[in-house]
Structure 1
Amino acid sequence: MKIRVAISQIDSYVGNYAINLQKIKGYITEAASNNADIVVFPELALNGYPPEDLILKTQFLRDSLNCIEKIRDFSRSKDIIIILGGIDWDVESYNTAFIIYKGKMYGNYKKMFLPNYSVFDEKRYFSAGRSPYIMEIDKVKVGITICEDLWVPNGPAISLAQNGASIIINLSASPFYKERNKTRFEMLKTRASELSSWIIYCNLVGGQDEIVFDGGSVVVNPYGEIEFNAPYFEEGLYFVDIDPLEATRANLREGKRKHYNESVYFEKVNVINIEKRIQDKLPLNKNNFYNPDVYEQLYLAIKIGIKDYLSKNGFEKVVLGLSGGIDSSLVAAIASDSIGPKNVLGLIMPSKFSSKSSVDDAVELAKNLDIDYKIIPITDIYESYISELSESFQEKDEDKTEENIQARIRGNIVMAFSNKFNYLALACGNKSEAATGYATLYGDMAGGFSPIKDLYKTDLYKVANKFNEIHNKKIITKSILEKAPSAELRPNQKDEDTLPPYSLLDQILFKYIDREMSYDELLQEGYDEEILKYVINLVNKNEYKRRQSAPGIKLTERSLGKDRRMPITNGYVPW
């Protein structure tokens, strides 16, 4: 006897119940028509994740419960068990998995472990459940968990296994960041092996503000081996046939069910019985999906992040400044892939300090991508600014003020096109620049969305090379990839005039920001004292700029958005 499970890797739209409900019903219908016994949806699939302060609105919660009732009514004609992530609410709100079958609500499982770190604020919104949950189908026990419940080493999954669950389903909304899938795989393989149970991990997919969910839903057998891995960054319905007796065989192979710490055993385990017969079915074809490498995953994350931010916020086209540098080139290239080249406009805005090669590179890139572009020189506008300010500035030498005026003129022009044509303006700054404040407020930082905001400069080049490899063509040209980074706001300017080489800078930034290493720890690793103090000072004093920047896609473990909440007014000196 095999149980067929349909994994609904859904791209939910926060707060849009009409769209989410339509998708959910469609997947239920498709799953039932393919003889699935169970269809499972991700965490809060009905509401979208994270709903944030929408959860504080009682009408939002009432609407959620009304949609659950609509799904219950819809299920009357479907011979399939539905496990749906949504919000349960009476006096308190709960992150919940609803179990529905043939018009009946059999019960619900309330998430027990609420994450409150990184991008998660679940303790602000939800109360924790108290009891693990098992449903029994034709003598097969299936345990249900939600996201963090499975990550906790001594969590409810132990009680599920001890109470005979041969299959443990996990509804998840696990955000993407670089190499996240490796950590996830190791956790899932460990849990399956130590519990001698099947693990079905159903993950959300799609972009939501600064977060991207990568899908990649996984089925792991009781020996800790991956049996199925759904595509990354793709919405879809995927089927797996599971032999629950394999869990018994795994236990026998190990000699006995593994011993656990008795202190984590949950005395109360809710067990519900669903009267459904598991029918024999024709075997499924084996599905082997390609697992992209780390830089292709970063490319795909940016691609879906742009697409979903536009579609879910009512935009169709984007505009950006195209400088001929690597940052804007990569943003334009991925935007072109994401929403189509005819929906991307590049503005080439040379000043008297712009090199001819940079303008040529920008034009060649636009042609390679087949995107529209306009050349709008800013020299006359800049000279007009300088002329108007000359009297006020007559006793001052030229400095970064004049440089920033150029960046702000360009930002003004980009925003003018955004306003006039309802284009979303894309900012093109990277994480190295955001961390050190090497960017101009209301200039190159201007925009409604910042796709590579969380991508270090050194990784940016690797993603650009991966883009060319994927397309089997040097779309981002050799001259763009090899030129020394420069803002071109003064003669012969190079980024390294102000910053350490990016190969060194990004090492320090990664360890200081992502790994939270202290100044003393970094000093012990052999970094130069003067460079360390310089970089750390840049990071600490530019929080006010980051607080005013456009939202951007989380691509690293500790992004400079919700992940890292530092006070702007801050007198702490770390040495």
Structure 2
Amino acid sequence: MQDLTLVMAQLDPLVGDIPGNTERAIEAVREASLEHKADVVVLPELCLTGYPPEDLLLRDSMEARLEEARARMAKKVARGVMVIVGYPGMRDGQRYNLAGVLKDGEWIAEYAKQALPNYQVFDEQRYFTPGTESCVVECRGARLGIVICEDLWDGTPTRQARDAGADILVSLNASPYHLEKPAERNRLFAKRAAEVSCPLVYVNQIGGQDELVFDGGSAAIDADGKTCVQAPWWDVGLMPVQFLKEEGGRWTPQSGEIAELLSPEESLYCALVTGLRDYVNKSGFKGVVLGLSGGIDSGLSLAIAVDALGADRVHAVMMPYHYTADISKEDAAEQAKLLGVSYEVMPIAPMVEAFTETLAESFAGSERDTTEENLQSRCRGVLLMAISNKKGLMVLTTGNKSEMAVGYATLYGDMVGGYNALKDVYKTWVFRLAHWRNTMGPAIPERVITRPPSAELAEDQLDSDSLPDYDILDAILTHYIESDMSAEAIIRAGFEEEDVYRVVRLVDRCEYKRRQAPVGVRVTPRGFGRDRRYPIVNGWAAGE
């Protein structure tokens, strides 16, 4: 019986680092050849530039750098192994999203992605021309039909490859993660493989890139839709797939290692850790500093930071004021000690009083309101940014998606920073993740999780004073943000009219704040940022 060893290379490229990505690809092929005796090595979509390269694609030097990279691969990759790798390229004056095939020092074929996504976080029609032709290459008697990411979701290019004689479909991908995505992909793989009666190899990249995060999960599926090999999520590595040619000429992937699908909590937590780790490391920061308030958001953020970077690269600061409860101070100190991070206390009363005194004449005759509350937050932001400047640490902000949606955050205060790990995490999920993280080992004091949430900017203040309970708030926000339902439709779904209109108006009114918020990893089907683009100034009525 004929056989074929195909290795899925699940890599973490750095956008724009073409020489570095090229060396990672060469090393992956070398390792796959030595350790797995690979006949074919498949690397992710746009692997040589990283994904998404965005307007770097418009740089005049891009093509020359890619030609140099491909020449280096042709020289360095060992003979006898076929490599299929993704990169962009200009061909006849048009730019394409390509998969190139390298064999014995020669680039023998190229496939141009046909289905260019232009929804959610994708903007490929801005940069690429769609391809029109299938590409089938042969290795050890097996005919490999190449497709790229969205081609698999569209379906037409996979059928085209089958009709061109493909025995095995090979899909290069840069498929971003969100909470429902892993299970959604697995359903698609089974459907598409069974539809074309052809085994499918899906190779995905891994790692964080700005607000996107990629979870890996590369897989091989047989022609009946059964998963035969499943690479781990959230780990860089190589995963071999052994194909055998059966009587009748059908190539079948043999059963191999199958990583279990992670629980929603573990998968989401891994996404947050990966996103933060890669943002900090790829940007070259020494570490992070964050305000540790004794509340659940900063408590979970601290745990994520330690798991991402290590305790020695995380600095926590408690900045108490008159309204900071003693238990908040105690819990913050306990968590800092528990996780082993450097920790200091900086009371902000002198700063707040200095600002208040300076503003006294200007504020004369005015009642006390949220202005004075925001002064406290802004004093804390000044301290954190000063530490950032002096020590080379990035400020990690700690607001969650529920707060960012309704503007329950202070510009130039608690929104100050370079990155927000919880930006796309609803408050109800913050509680779920905190509970889950503690099952892995003590990380967040239990009282931090069970206390009623409070910003502690005024006497006896609770979040519930000005917002619906988080179960209700998050359900309304999910309908409005993720599903684009109108206020009236949400009310018909069973929510109180007063709550719905208040929440919807807050979301619409606070777009200007979100535009100035730090970047954060996208983990829901529709995050703020490249996913949801609303005008800041507009006359759209809240109920429509």
Aligned to 1:497: 465
- Do 1:197 and 1:247's aligned partners in 2 also have CA atoms closer than 8 Å? no
- Do 2:293 and 2:329's aligned partners in 1 also have CA atoms closer than 8 Å? yes
Q: Which is worse superposed, 506-515 or 155-164?
A: 155-164
SS at structure 2 position matched to 1:97: strand
1:208 and 2:178 matched: no
- Do 1:166 and 1:245's aligned partners in 2 also have CA atoms closer than 8 Å? no
CA gap 1:244/1:435 in 2 versus in 1, 3 angstroms? farther
1:399 and 2:369 matched: yes
Matches within 5 A, 1:69-468: 69-75=71-77, 77-90=78-91, 91-153=93-155, 155-245=156-246, 286-468=256-438
Q: d(CA) in 2 for partners of 1:24 and 1:477?
A: 43
Give how far 1:94 is off: 0.7
1:544 and 2:512 matched: yes
Give how far 1:159 is off: 1.7
CA gap 1:249/1:39 in 2 versus in 1, 3 angstroms? closer
Aligned with residue 41 of structure 2, among 39, 42, 61 = 39
Q: d(CA) in 2 for partners of 1:420 and 1:8?
A: 40
Q: d(CA) in 1 for partners of 2:528 and 2:484?
A: 13
Q: Deviations over 1:330-377 (max 9, x none)?
A: 111111011100110001000001000001110001011111110001
Give how far 1:164 is off: 2.8
Q: d(CA) in 1 for partners of 2:510 and 2:9?
A: 42
Give how far 1:316 is off: 2.0
- Do 1:222 and 1:246's aligned partners in 2 also have CA atoms closer than 8 Å? no
Q: Deviations over 1:112-143 (max 9, x none)?
A: 01000111110001111111111122432110
Q: d(CA) in 2 for partners of 1:78 and 1:466?
A: 48
Aligned to 1:279: none
- Same amino acid, percent of matched pairs: 40
Aligned to 2:453: 485
Give how far 1:249 is off: 5.8
Aligned to 2:528: 560
Name the amino acid aligned to 1:567.
Answer: P
Q: d(CA) in 1 for partners of 2:426 and 2:109?
A: 46
Q: d(CA) in 2 for partners of 1:393 and 1:246?
A: 87
Name the amino acid aligned to 1:307.
Answer: R
Name the amino acid aligned to 2:149.
Answer: C
TM-score, L = length of structure 2: 0.97
SS at structure 2 position matched to 1:385: helix
- Do 1:42 and 1:172's aligned partners in 2 also have CA atoms closer than 8 Å? yes
TM-score, L = length of structure 1: 0.92
CA RMSD of aligned residues (A): 1.6
CA gap 1:350/1:284 in 2 versus in 1, 3 angstroms? same
Q: d(CA) in 2 for partners of 1:546 and 1:10?
A: 32
How many pairs align?
540
Name the amino acid aligned to 2:127.
Answer: Y
Give how far 1:62 is off: 1.7
Q: Deviations over 1:221-277 (max 9, x none)?
A: 1111111111111111111102244896699xxxxxxxxxxxxxxxxxxxxxxxxxx
- Do 1:404 and 1:443's aligned partners in 2 also have CA atoms closer than 8 Å? yes
Name the amino acid aligned to 2:120.
Answer: S
Q: d(CA) in 2 for partners of 1:425 and 1:542?
A: 22
- Do 2:4 and 2:140's aligned partners in 1 also have CA atoms closer than 8 Å? no
Aligned to 1:263: none
Q: d(CA) in 2 for partners of 1:180 and 1:284?
A: 25
Q: Deviations over 1:18-39 (max 9, x none)?
A: 2211111101111112211100
- Do 1:32 and 1:78's aligned partners in 2 also have CA atoms closer than 8 Å? no
SS at structure 2 position matched to 1:30: helix
CA gap 1:526/1:248 in 2 versus in 1, 3 angstroms? farther
- Do 2:229 and 2:255's aligned partners in 1 also have CA atoms closer than 8 Å? no
Q: Deviations over 1:400-436 (max 9, x none)?
A: 0000000000011000000011101101011001100
Segments of structure 1 that go 5 or more residues without pairing to the other structure are 252-282
SS at structure 1 position matched to 2:290: strand
Give how far 1:521 is off: 1.5
Aligned to 2:14: 13
Q: d(CA) in 2 for partners of 1:61 and 1:247?
A: 44
CA gap 1:347/1:246 in 2 versus in 1, 3 angstroms? farther
Segments of structure 2 that go 5 or more residues without pairing to the other structure are none
Give how far 1:61 is off: 2.5
Q: d(CA) in 2 for partners of 1:285 and 1:79?
A: 25
SS at structure 2 position matched to 1:571: coil
Aligned to 2:63: 61
SS at structure 2 position matched to 1:161: helix
SS at structure 2 position matched to 1:171: strand
SS at structure 2 position matched to 1:194: helix
Aligned with residue 483 of structure 2, among 494, 506, 515 = 515
Q: d(CA) in 1 for partners of 2:444 and 2:107?
A: 54
Q: d(CA) in 1 for partners of 2:185 and 2:258?
A: 19
